[in-house]
Amino acid sequence: DSGVTQTPKHLITATGQRVTLRCSPRSGDLSVYWYQQSLDQGLQFLIQYYNGEERAKGNILERFSAQQFPDLHSELNLSSLELGDSALYFCASSLGTASSYEQYFGPGTRLTVT
């Protein structure tokens, strides 16, 4: 158990819909990261927040957005869903922003868009 929690575990929704994925970081961790893992793209970094502020952006679509709240939990919002958004979404957390800090991953949310 990494200490990172994600809800829900599974999500099935239809094209065009909007969903919210939730992540609670390990106690004491200030950074939260979101990754997407699909069969054809592998594990891809989406976005990072540090202590409530956006820190880095990766291959995140404009239909996707995220935020980190004062209690440090984070939410990833996916809208106008397409079939290709079906994937595993992982949240990770780390202590801070230094390169030496390892990231701890949650169990993921499996999103299926039908």
Partner 1 sequence: DAKTTQPPSMDCAEGRAANLPCNHSTISGNEYVYWYRQIHSQGPQYIIHGLKNNETNEMASLIITEDRKSSTLILPHATLRDTAVYYCIVRVLNTDKLIFGTGTRLQVFP
Torsion angle in degrees (nearest 10) through CA of 66, 47, 62, 39? -110
Among 58, 80, 82, 83, binds partner 1 (CB under 8 A): 58
Q: How many whole angstroms separate alpha carbon 82 and alpha carbon 48?
A: 23
Interface with partner 1, residue 24, by CB under 8 A: no
Q: How far is the CB of 52 from partner 1 (least distance, A)?
A: 15
Interface with partner 1, residue 49, by CB under 8 A: no
CA distances from 86 to 27, 67, 73, 111 (A): 29, 21, 23, 5
Binding site for partner 1 (CB under 8 A): 2, 4, 31, 33, 35, 42-45, 48, 55-56, 58, 88, 90, 92, 94, 97, 99-108, 110
